[in-house]
Amino acid sequence: MIKKILIGLAGVVALIFLAIYLMSRPTLEADGSYSPSNLALNLATVSITDFEDIPYAKYQGERSKILVIFTEHKNLEMKNGKMFSTGNHPVEALVPMLHLKNAGFDFEIATPTGKPVVFEMWAFPNEDENVKAIYDKYKRNFEQPKKLTDFITNSFANDSSYAAVFIPGGHGVMNGIPEDKNVSKVLNWAHQSDLFTITLCHGPGALLSTSLDNQKFLYDGYKMAVFPDAVDEMTPMIGYLPGHMTLGVSERLKNLGATIVNAESDNTVCVDRKLITGASPLASNELGKLAAKTLLKELN
């Protein structure tokens, strides 16, 4: 009898482990890329965000524009050759934008070559009415963004209209943007024009572009919150990533002279001079509040 019970329990345990294994396998998409597993989605995404609808005293000045640089790439190659279905994280983009919009700012949407913005739609909070509203408001701009070179040609001389540059996160930012010389030009323009730069999670990967062509890293000595490489190393275990990333972000920034203020993928935010950063998707609401309050205090 005991032997039969033990055999039965072993079978139950085996089924449990099989179910966990199947839930933790990344999902194969039609184009051959992989989106996160069901287990990863349950652990790492939300249907409603923690966005706080704060009644800010709206900014009324001329510096009302914020340039938002998005990725246009969907698939990011892992070390094992598998492609991660990525793009910009919708919560990391839209929740800070909600705060900044409520504070009286508007947005110019750009991608490196003018191709449509790519979002990680598997992370979209489909029950969040605030997020859906701002996504719908700018949907046409996401589909027909400005080309970054056109912005450089047409807008650099008119820096009095701008308050900040915002680079949302999402693993897709690591696909070409850290190596994009035009991104470096924009960040240097923002720095020289005394504008704010706002970014979170993997978005700070864009800051690496300022060290291209043996330039001195623009943010040497800055404190910043960034998604930890150590967490990226662990996420394949639950099927969030289909493999390990070829390059991380936090250690590369640290090696260039940045001081990383967080060790976890939490809601840490940081402001150092004109750089405002956040650690992860969990920091989206806090980053939006910090950015809105900081810009209003500085510009009013």
Q: How far apart are alpha carbons 201 and 178 in whole angstroms?
A: 14
201 as an active site residue: the answer is: yes
Instruction: Please check the confidence at residue 130 and state whether its pLDDT lies above 80.
Output: yes
Closest among 194, 240, 186, 231 to 78, alpha carbons compared: 240
Out of 39, 187, 201, 287, pick the active-site residue.
201
Q: Looking at the DSSP assignment, which residues form a beta bridge with residue 271?
A: 276
Q: How far apart are alpha carbons 53 and 134 in whole angstroms?
A: 13
pLDDT average, residue stretch 182-196: 97
Displacement of CA 14 from its chain's centroid (Å): 38
Contact in structure between 182 and 70 (CB atoms under 8 Å): no
Q: Looking at the DSSP assignment, which residues form a beta bridge with residue 198?
A: 166, 276
Instruction: Please check the confidence at residue 7 and state whether its pLDDT lies above 60.
Output: no
Q: Tell me the per-residue pLDDT of 241-285, one tens digit each, with 9 for 90 and over.
A: 999 999 999 999 999 999 999 999 999 999 999 999 999 999 999
Domains of the chain with bracketed CATH: 2-299 (3.40.50.880)
Enter the pTM of the model: 0.92
Displacement of CA 147 from its chain's centroid (Å): 20
Q: How far apart are alpha carbons 165 and 89 in whole angstroms?
A: 17
Reported for 271-274, long-range contacts at CB under 8 A and 24+ positions apart, including other chains, are: 272/222, 272/223, 272/224, 273/222, 274/190, 274/191, 274/194, 274/195, 274/196, 274/197
Element (DSSP H or E) covering residue 77: strand 75-77
DSSP code string of 95-126: HHHHHHHHTT-EEEEEESSSPPP-B-GGG--T
Q: Tell me the per-residue pLDDT of 30-68, one tens digit each, with 9 for 90 and over.
A: 999 999 999 999 999 999 999 999 999 999 999 999 999
pLDDT average, residue stretch 171-180: 96
Displacement of CA 220 from its chain's centroid (Å): 21
Residue 217 is which amino acid? F
